[in-house]
Structures are given as structure tokens and as C-alpha cells.
């Protein structure tokens, strides 16, 4: 344990200094944690490495100011985009602080799409190109260095092992698009570092995924929309929790509804579905949902601000805002972004202590959807999460949520496939949605046209030569 203490101290020192982290050292910390679990059956205090010093607001602010300055100073020297941007608004990176950060305009996806070369830092060799797979507009291309690709899974492995979310006895089955190269690589590298098994299958027919899920995996990593297809297919095939060995399901990239989460828990026999925030452009900053439904962002690797939707200033508690994320150096080096506007809508939480299990880590509300998909009823916003939560709670289980919503003459017109109301009734469905705060005019389309209503990540289907195998055969 003495050795572990020295390594943790070294890591803490290098987080405060402006130097790169020693990846091998983090790898040894992972091994130390695994050895401790093997010997004593429990992990060292996870909070010490991940959350510890940041619970004190004064310490946190001091850390954030240093990290912002360190990151901006490096970008001012090495990134053509930010050298120009800081110069244009007369910002001196060495004087920036969390309070004066608003002087730097936010970076938007269009900047990355139109000027990718200008984001590349001088002297850093890229080794992996990855593209965003979101359904909103042209993909952005992000280049990553070898150091980044070694560092990020090492950090994830350390916190995962300390929380016992992944152990050498685990086997992870991965259903994310195989074109999401960074996400796939990070899952594989995480498993390799921990010594866990890894099976990357991509977005294949759900029957194939289930045949494999009944053959040993303990961890499942996917998107909410694909999880919905797995749940419905498992139920159609009559599969029960005893047919699976899963202990944990992780999803991200889309809105996970309460209804789907509850059904997945029952179908696969897992205690909860972990709903994570992650986005290619701002890696390795990530967020995790707590039991109270907040999203908590690890404050050691980046800064999360919430600006009002017009971008004029910070959003107040309870107001809708967009999450602005700055990954810090030395966690990002090849093509970093600074004050990146994710357009992911959240509400800041009221000031005061949070009562949840992650209370020491800064948090916002859950992600409510993309800003471009908000509907306005007079002055009242209806978020994509409002729509998905209400719609996916229908007794017809119309999963994953395929609908189109628009405002017409001051009312929401919700177009849904026939299957969403089949056997339940048009009027009952409208009343069900109204009970959940969603007064809508329902329009119904033939099921064959459903796929065009709303694009989802489960649509990134990959073909295989194998015939769909029946699970359990
Ligand atoms: Zn919380």
C-alpha cells in the first residue's frame, strides 16, 4: 500500500504541474488496485483518486483556474485556431480564470468541420482518426495521439477498478457502431488493461447479439436505442434473467427513458442501467448519472459550464442551457477544443448540497436532448427528453422512440407509427401522454414509414454473413 500511496502522490503532483501524465504509472495503479481487491476483497477508497480534493469549493476553484490557464497557454502557442481566436478578442491565456473565461467565444461543431487542420497542435503526431456518429449534421473528424489513446483507457480502468465496475473476471460485449473507432478502441484497451474479456460485435441483428449475450458476457456497452431492440427481441424469444450472466449495462449517446431502463433491468436481471455522457469532440471528459438523475462530470479532466441557449451568459439554476466543455491539458493534446458548445441541453442545479451518492462532484440535470430539437409552446420549452420519456412510457412499448414532433397552431403535433397505438387506442394514447404533461395532437403513420420519423444509432446497422442465429440454440 506504501507503493500505491507514492504513485498516487506522483500522479496528483503531475496533475497540478503542467506536465504529461506517466501512463505506465497509472497502469501500475490499476494493478495495485486489482492486487488489493484480490487480497482484501475490497478496493481502496475510490474517492481518493477520482473525487477527493474537489468537494471543497475553494480548492476546486483554485484547481480549475490553474487548469484553464495551463490549457489556454498551450493552445495559444500550439493551436492555430486558438492562437487566432485568443488574439482576436485580446485574451491573454496566462491571465484567464473561470470568472473571465466568458471573454473567449465558444467553439462550435461547424468550426471543427470547416477548419479541422487549424485545431491540430504543432509537434503532435496523430495516430487515430475518428468521426462523430451523431445524427445531427455533417460528422466532425477528430485526430488522436498515441499518448491520448494510452492515457484515457488507463484513467477509465483505474476508476472502473476502484469502483469494481470492471474486474479481470468480467467479459464485456460491445454494441456500438464499429465506425465509432475511438469508443471501440477505448473499450478494448480498457478490457486489456484490466485483464477482462472483450467481444466487439457492432450493431448486428439483435438475435445475434442475444445469442452471444447468453454465452457468458457480464458487461454490456451500447446505445439506448439498440438496448431497446435487445429488450424487445429477448422478450419475444422468451429469454429470462436466468439466461444471462450480465451484472452491468452501460449506455450513452442518446436519451435513456425510465421505462426502457426499468424494462432492461427486469429482462436482463441487472440492478440498474448506467447512463453515461460521452462525446467524441470533448473526450476524455465524461459524465455519469447518479441515483437522483443528475449528470456528474469528473472535474479533474475538464471544465463544464452551462450557458443560456443564446450564449449570452451563464444559465441560472433551473433554466435551460447548453453544456460548454473544456478538456484540460494534459488530458488532451492532439486536437483539443476549448469552450466547446455541445448543444446538449441541461439545467443547472440549484445552489446548495446535493443529497446523492456523488454529491462531492459537480453536476447538472440529466441531458435533455439537443438544442436544435427543442419545441417552444409559447414561452414554454418541450425537450426531447420530455417527448421520449412520455412516449416510451406508453403501454404499447413503442421502442426505440420513433416519432416526429412539431408545433402547429400553438399545439404539438406528434406523428407516431401505427404500432404505438395498436391495441391501446388513439384516444387512450393521447390521454396517457397528457397525464405526463404532454398535450398533443396525435397523427398515425403506417409502420413501414416509422424508420424515417427519427434517426437513431441503432440504425447504424452492420451487415454480416451469418444468418441470424436464434438465441439459446
Ligand atoms: Zn447526483
* 171-219 tens-digit pLDDT: 999 999 988 899 999 999 999 999 999 999 999 999 999 999 999 999 9
The model's confidence at residue 4, banded by pLDDT at 50, 70 and 90, is: low
* 56-87 tens-digit pLDDT: 788 888 999 999 999 999 999 999 999 999 99
Rounded to the nearest 10 degrees, the angle between the axes of helix 206-213 and helix 224-236 is 80
**How many angstroms is it from 319 CA to the middle of ligand 1?**
18
What integer best gives the mean pLDDT of the chain?
A: 90
**How many angstroms is it from 365 CA to the middle of ligand 1?**
9
**How many angstroms is it from 337 CA to the middle of ligand 1?**
27
Q: In sequence order, which residues have a C-beta less than 8 Å from that of residue 167 and are 6 or more positions away? A: 34, 37, 161, 194, 196
Asked if residue 417 lies in contact with residue 446, where contact means CB atoms within 8 angstroms, the answer is yes
**How many angstroms is it from 349 CA to the middle of ligand 1?**
10
Residue 252 has pLDDT above 70, yes or no: yes
- Nearest C-alpha neighbor of 267 from the set 308, 210, 184, 185: 210
More confidently predicted of 253 and 12: 253
**How many angstroms is it from 296 CA to the middle of ligand 1?**
6
**How many angstroms is it from 107 CA to the middle of ligand 1?**
28
Q: Give percent above pLDDT 70 in the chain.
A: 91
Residue 458 has pLDDT above 90, yes or no: yes
pTM over 0.85: yes
Q: In sequence order, which residues have a C-beta less than 8 Å from that of residue 352 and are 6 or more positions away? A: none
**How many angstroms is it from 20 CA to the middle of ligand 1?**
31
Asked if residue 201 lies in contact with residue 247, where contact means CB atoms within 8 angstroms, the answer is no
**How many angstroms is it from 59 CA to the middle of ligand 1?**
20
Spatial distance between the Cα atoms of 227 and 153, rounded to a whole number of angstroms: 24
CA 157 from chain centre, in angstroms, equals: 16
Amino acid at each position: 500500500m506504501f507503493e500505491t500511496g507514492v504513485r498516487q502522490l506522483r500522479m496528483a503532483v503531475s496533475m497540478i504541474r503542467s506536465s504529461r501524465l506517466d501512463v505506465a504509472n497509472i497502469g501500475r495503479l490499476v494493478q495495485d488496485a486489482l492486487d488489493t481487491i484480490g487480497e482484501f476483497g475490497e478496493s481502496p477508497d475510490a474517492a481518493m483518486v477520482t473525487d477527493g480534493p474537489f468537494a471543497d469549493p475553494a480548492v476546486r476553484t483554485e484547481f480549475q483556474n490553474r487548469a484553464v490557464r495551463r490549457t489556454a497557454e498551450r493552445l495559444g502557442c500550439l493551436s492555430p485556431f486558438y492562437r487566432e481566436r485568443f488574439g482576436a478578442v485580446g485574451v491573454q491565456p496566462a491571465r484567464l480564470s473561470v470568472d473571465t473565461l466568458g471573454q473567449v467565444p465558444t467553439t462550435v461543431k461547424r468550426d471543427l468541420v470547416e477548419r479541422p487542420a487549424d485545431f491540430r497542435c504543432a509537434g503532435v503526431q496523430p495516430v487515430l482518426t475518428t468521426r462523430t456518429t451523431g445524427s445531427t449534421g455533417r460528422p466532425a473528424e477528430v485526430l488522436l495521439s498515441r499518448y491520448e489513446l494510452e492515457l484515457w483507457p488507463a484513467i477509465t480502468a483505474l476508476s472502473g477498478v476502484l469502483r469494481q465496475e470492471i474486474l479481470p473476471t468480467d467479459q464485456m460485449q460491445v454494441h456500438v457502431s464499429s465506425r465509432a473507432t475511438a469508443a471501440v478502441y477505448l473499450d478494448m484497451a480498457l478490457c486489456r488493461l484490466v485483464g477482462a474479456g472483450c467481444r466487439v460485435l457492432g450493431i448486428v441483428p439483435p438475435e445475434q447479439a442475444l445469442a452471444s449475450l447468453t454465452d457468458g458476457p457480464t458487461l454490456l456497452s451500447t446505445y439506448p436505442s439498440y438496448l431497446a431492440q435487445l429488450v424487445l427481441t429477448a422478450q419475444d424469444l422468451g429469454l429470462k434473467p436466468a439466461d444471462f450472466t450480465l451484472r452491468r449495462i452501460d449506455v450513452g449517446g442518446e436519451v435513456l427513458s425510465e421505462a426502457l431502463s426499468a424494462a432492461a433491468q427486469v429482462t436482463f436481471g441487472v440492478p440498474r442501467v448506467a447512463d453515461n455522457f460521452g462525446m467524441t469532440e470533448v473526450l476524455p471528459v465524461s459524465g455519469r448519472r447518479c441515483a437522483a438523475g443528475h449528470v456528474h462530470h469528473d472535474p479533474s479532466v475538464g471544465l463544464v459550464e452551462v450557458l443560456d441557449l443564446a450564449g449570452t451568459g451563464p444559465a441560472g439554476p433551473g433554466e435551460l442551457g447548453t453544456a460548454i466543455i473544456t478538456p484540460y491539458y494534459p488530458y488532451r493534446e492532439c486536437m483539443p477544443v476549448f469552450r466547446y458548445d455541445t448543444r446538449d441541453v441541461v439545467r443547472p442545479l440549484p445552489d446548495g448540497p446535493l443529497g446523492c451518492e456523488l454529491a462531492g462532484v459537480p453536476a447538472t440535470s440529466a441531458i435533455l436532448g439537443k438544442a436544435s430539437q427543442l419545441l417552444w409552446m409559447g414561452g414554454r420549452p418541450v425537450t426531447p427528453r420530455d417527448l421520449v420519456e412520455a412516449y416510451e412510457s406508453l403501454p404499447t412499448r413503442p421502442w426505440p422512440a420513433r416519432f416526429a414532433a412539431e408545433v402547429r397552431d400553438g399545439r404539438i403535433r406528434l406523428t407516431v407509427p401505427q404500432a404505438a397505438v395498436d391495441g391501446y387506442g388513439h384516444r387512450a394514447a393521447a390521454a396517457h401522454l397528457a397525464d405526463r404533461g404532454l398535450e398533443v395532437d396525435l397523427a398515425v403513420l403506417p409502420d413501414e414509414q416509422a424508420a424515417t420519423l427519427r434517426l437513431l444509432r441503432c440504425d447504424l446497422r452492420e451487415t454480416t454473413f451469418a444468418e441470424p442465429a436464434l438465441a439459446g440454440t
